[in-house]
A and B are shown apart, each in its own frame.
Chain A
């Protein structure tokens, strides 16, 4: 479980070397869009050398591979036996997942974060999300906007349906939903965008700049008030021995109890359950 996924270009040593100080829960080392066609070999070699000598210990590391068959073949060869938590598969579809299976079949079958960024992917989303290797869906908002010819609006209304679909497909398959990055560097807009994504059900958000990580981690962490409330719900649940009871005049039943459990699990993961305030 991660709150923030930071994109790092695979060919920039300054970014790779400092990656562990950015405090992202996960890194996505990019071999696709951020890397010029002439620099793909350099990016692979540099990334592998980085992973072998400087891989951060407490951060998940993913690699966004390429979508072209010839390049995926080289990517899969380079990643063979390497210490990564998974790959990000661009332009995810039935076809790209088959290609992934074919090219990674005799190598390590890494978990896949499926990058949903084409209109066609939405007609195959259930199948993509249910694929045994896919452990997260990730909305690629910029490419999606371009593909459908949408204009970028202040509150990202053009992405609302896509966001809902990604969350629904992810939750129906019990996998993680990762929201599209906020591509402006305005802090206020970022926070609002994070809150919007969280309210829709996203578990995490991607970032294109290290300065975005603190806000994403804070907003995608459970709030102290939420932790206190979840603890009260579970305490009463234990006392009552029932899945249906009243608390502060409101009815609590199974979905609310389950949500409280999930929230506390997340809070424990981020070391947020021990303070006196939260008891």
Chain B
């Protein structure tokens, strides 16, 4: 069982997502477009995690200026792989 799932990259317009076990849903975000977009991206991560049924996970996102569709897709794949590994 893998303890951590990583998707995406640190290339421009992408984001690196790490998903690991936690007691509750925790989200950590670093973004190069912090000004004005931090809350938006954080909400997007939270909504996506909830839609995927993720409850006890720690999500860290290093955003390199990714558009919403990229962040969402990267997180969805990470959470699905995380579940496939047997995590809740």
Contacts and interface: CB of A to CB of B under 8 A. Distances in A.
Contact of A42 (B12, B13, B77): B77
A12 B15 CA distance: 11
Contact of B13 (A13, A41, A45): A13
Interface stretch (B21-29, B35-43, B68-76): B68-76
Interface string B37-77: 00000000000000000000000000000111110111011
Interface-central residue, B73, B77, B81, by most chain A CB under 10 Å = B73
Interface-central residue, A12, A14, A50, by most chain B CB under 10 Å = A14
Contact of A13 (B14, B77, B81): B14
B68 A53 contact: yes
B73 A17 contact: no
Interface residues of B, number: 18
Given A14-B13, A14-B14, A45 B73 contact: yes
Interface in A13-58: 13-14, 17, 41-42, 45-46, 48-50, 52-54
Contacts of A54: 67, 69
Given A13-B67, A17-B67, A46 B73 contact: yes
A210 B27 CA distance: 37
B11 A42 contact: no
Given A42-B7, A53-B68, A54-B67, A14 B73 contact: no
19 contacts: A12-B11, A12-B14, A13-B11, A13-B13, A13-B14, A13-B66, A13-B67, A13-B70, A14-B14, A17-B13, A17-B67, A17-B70, A41-B81, A42-B7, A45-B74, A45-B76, A49-B70, A49-B72, A49-B73
